[in-house]
Amino acid sequence: MFPGEDRWYFSREEIDNDSPSRRDGIDLTEETSLRKAYCSFLKDLGRRFKLDQVTVATAMVFCHRFFLLQSHAKNDKWIIAEVCMFLSAKVESTPVDLKTLIITSEEILHKKVIAAEERQGVYEHYKGIVLIGEKLVLSTLNFDLSVDLPFDLLVQAMKKFILDTATQGTFPPAAWKFVKDSFWTTLCLQYQPRHVAAGAFFLAAMHIKMDAKSHGESWCQHFDITRRQLNDIRGQMGELYYGKKPIPTFTGSIGETSNSGDVVQQQPVPTDNCPSSVIQGGSSSVADGSLQDQSCPEGVEKDSPDREAGDNQEES
């Protein structure tokens, strides 16, 4: 019934504690910041190229998979992200021109427009390393570019269960926001798409204060998800928005109180509208499997301070 059964799924403990970056001395907090940085960069690229959310999300998944197997200490996150967007655009049949991608990436990173007379030089400088990066990403992913996403599953559930006219106006934007933001985490490496879709669905229900007690069981059956899985997904989404503080868990059908009995506070979700069409239907080194641009100008080199934490995902 649902695609994507076994590939690319790991426990959170494996992802958090045994990544190549961790072995190279990068702690979890720093790696989380690096992840947000390249997700912000990919979001910006998607906006500049007017790419659909599927292409952007696929690029994020490629990046997460790459850095699950390769270290941030040995690879420039901007170049890897650029390559992942290039590959994603190909896979999703929304191809982007390599020269334009390189120029646009540099403009985003430098936060300035590159003059017309400088563009060819910038392209020639980065073309080689981006193509080397493409080979590295493909080999690291074992040429497996198949990605199953939760978007269609979420839309199907909304069509099936969200029938009330008033709810139709508030539920989809909230659910769409949650499912898009999930790609800023490693949930796509831990849970199958139906579970991520379920998390977004339940979070949206809680956000708009739906009385879902009478429907929670049928929702869980539809997504084939357990309460424990829902609690874990919700907790990780809470960490994304609010940091590491404890997140109340689901109880009852979808959970109105935490395990301690505290009332769950509804948090605002930016109304990033779901598209109606969806609701309706330089010199480089490659050694030990790593990639670094050793001649990057300021603003592009690894751990650039002006982009390190990325933009706030509230506008993703």
Q: Are residues 239 and 286 in the same domain?
A: no
Domain count, the chain: 2
In a domain, 68, yes or no: yes
Q: Are residues 21 and 135 in the same domain?
A: yes
DSSP character at residue 184: G
Distance CA 163, CA 161 (A): 6
Predicted confidence at residue 244, as pLDDT, reads: 64
Q: Are residues 139 and 172 in the same domain?
A: no
One-letter amino acid for residue 113 of the chain: V
Predicted confidence at residue 305, as pLDDT, reads: 37
Domain around 188? 151-276
In a domain, 1, yes or no: no
- What is the model's pTM? 0.79
Contacts of 259 (CB under 8 A, 6+ apart): 248, 249, 251
Q: Are residues 189 and 102 in the same domain?
A: no
State the CATH number of the domain containing residue 76.
Answer: 1.10.472.10
In a domain, 6, yes or no: no
Q: Are residues 265 and 310 in the same domain?
A: no
In a domain, 93, yes or no: yes
Predicted confidence at residue 73, as pLDDT, reads: 97
Q: Are residues 86 and 176 in the same domain?
A: no
In a domain, 2, yes or no: no
Q: Are residues 230 and 109 in the same domain?
A: no
Burial 260-290 (b: 16+ CB within 10 A, else e): eeeebeeeebeeeebeeebbeebebeeeeeb
CB 252 within 8 Å of CB 263: no
Q: Are residues 181 and 226 in the same domain?
A: yes
In a domain, 5, yes or no: no
292 phi, psi to nearest 5 deg? -135, 140
Distance CA 14, CA 283 (A): 34
Predicted confidence at residue 105, as pLDDT, reads: 98
pLDDT less than 70: residues of the chain: 1-6, 212, 244-316
Q: Are residues 140 and 244 in the same domain?
A: no
The token pair at 296 is 């990057």
Q: Are residues 270 and 297 in the same domain?
A: no
One-letter amino acid for residue 287 of the chain: A
Q: Are residues 179 and 105 in the same domain?
A: no
Q: Are residues 263 and 207 in the same domain?
A: yes
In a domain, 7, yes or no: no
Predicted confidence at residue 229, as pLDDT, reads: 96
